Amino acid sequence: MDAACIKSFPPLLDYKTEKYVLTRNVKIGALHRVLHFGILCYTVGWVLLTKKGYQEIDSDPRYSVITKLKGVSVTKDFRELEDKLWDVADFVKPSQGENILFLVTNFIATPGQMLSVCPESPFILDGRCGEDLDCAAGEPVVNGNGIKTGKCLWLNSTHSTCEIYGWCPVENGSLVSKPLLNEAENFTLFIKHAIHFTKFNFSRANTLETSNETYFKSCRYDPIYTPYCPVFRIQDIIGITGHNFEELSILGGVLAVHIEWKCDLDRTVTLCKPQYNFQLQAKKNNFRTATYYWNQENREYRDLLKLYGIRFDISVTGEARRFGVIPTAVSLGTGCALLGAATFFCDLILLYLDEKASFYWSCKYEEVKPPADQKST
């Protein structure tokens, strides 16, 4: 070795510079080319083309939802045994316009309740008794309808319950096996919403811009032919989930409506369309409501309704993309870094794992210091 190629002192002050060595190693050379080709395919094919790594993304849009449900149904009035007409104000809870609505399909009516004393329902476990001591006065009935008075009343030869103070008579627990509002399967649900991507100042709506006032009264949603007609028949929505209306209408259910937007702003905006997804979340759903009134003696009464129906939970998500210099530079920079990593990986194999690793090491690394005559000057 040349006299100049000796170890310097101290090692902490050494400076390392690149030295390129051309090695005639077919295996390492082939591995190097394969890695470079794989990295290029990954960067161009997957990152840039498939995942569109050259685009900026806005995945937190603002949106508004307006719903309208239309249809009418007729049942027997639970007080007068006459026909009762149910319209939007009756079978939609809460009022129209929210992204959550409840469609009434069945009900249990307990008309003419008044504050008084009466026996508790035998269906309430805490209301059952065998003697007066089981009905401690002043205690509320757990999951029941009132406050215990201290008396145990026999309803018949097999059932006895505590007397309570509450709205009497207590709620009727019988439920018909056929939905009382079975016409609701032909009702239509109108879902109007708009979405705005603040990052790109871009807005879209799911309704067709038309001057035809009758369009939304006659059209029905179809993903191919009428993607901007947000009018759905209830029976069709439930059918998409794999269930039928009669199955859900007796005890109710919860149905999620998810609307998704995928917008590539580097392409024509006509391709930016809403995608609807319907999914059944639960098969039972009900709540109670009451109507209060006073008779001629100014005594307060109420009609209690236990309403069964289908709850619609509507949500909207979206993602908009557009070309951006920064994400493009990041994607390309990542690809270049991976190319350098491939070279580093091949160096490790060559210098530490190859059978001639010591030879390649001696060729790649060389310790050098200036000649003695140059140091003196």
The residue ranking higher by pLDDT, 305 or 161, is 161
Fold type of domain 62-107+177-282: atp-gated p2x4 ion channel fold (2.60.490)
Contacts of 163 by beta carbon, 8 Å cutoff, 6+ apart:
117, 118, 119, 120, 135, 148, 149, 150, 151, 152, 153
Residues in the chain: 377
339-351: per-residue pLDDT in tens?
Answer: 889 888 888 888 7
18-67: per-residue pLDDT in tens?
Answer: 777 777 778 888 888 899 899 999 999 998 888 888 889 999 999 988 88
Q: Angle at Cα 76 formed by Cα 74 and Cα 81, nearest 5°?
A: 150
Give the count of beta carbons closer than 10 Å to the beta carbon of residue 226: 14
The residue ranking higher by pLDDT, 360 or 273, is 273
219-245: per-residue pLDDT in tens?
Answer: 898 888 888 999 999 999 999 999 988
Q: Is the pTM of this model over 0.85?
A: no
Q: For helices 26-41 and 325-348, what crossing angle results, to 10°?
A: 160
102-111: per-residue pLDDT in tens?
Answer: 888 888 888 8
Domain ranges in the chain are 11-54+324-376, 62-107+177-282
